[in-house]
């Protein structure tokens, strides 16, 4: 069930939302729909990242091992 709320937007953010609404739906009356879609997408990505961070780890690596790996990878990318 949709809930009605008020948000205060900076002018530049509002302008981008109007442009996106026009691009997606050919009307400025779909700003709420655009905001909902963008928020859902953003929160979904955040939840996926948190799931990854807090998931059970299958590899254990010390800081020293990681630094060695990072240096080797950096060397490979630079060459």
The 10s digit of each residue's pLDDT in 1-25 is: 889 999 999 999 999 999 999 999 9
Tokens at 76, concatenated? 């490979």
pLDDT, tens digit, 9 for 90 and up, residues 27-72: 999 999 999 999 888 888 787 777 877 888 888 889 999 999 999 9
Alpha carbons 30 and 21: distance in angstroms, whole number: 6
Taking the model in full, what pTM does it have? 0.57
pLDDT at position 28: 94
pLDDT at position 59: 82
pLDDT at position 13: 94
Nearest CA to 32 among 6, 51, 58? 6
Sequence spans of domains, the chain = 11-78
pLDDT at position 44: 83
């Amino acid at each position: 069930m949709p809930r009605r709320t008020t948000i205060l937007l900076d002018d530049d953010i509002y302008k981008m939302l109007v442009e996106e609404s026009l691009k997606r739906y050919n009307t400025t009356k779909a700003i709420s729909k655009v905001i909902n879609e963008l928020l859902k997408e953003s929160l979904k990505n955040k939840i996926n990242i948190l799931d990854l961070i807090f998931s059970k780890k299958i590899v254990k690596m010390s800081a020293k091992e990681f630094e060695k790996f990072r240096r080797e990878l950096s060397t490979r990318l630079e060459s």
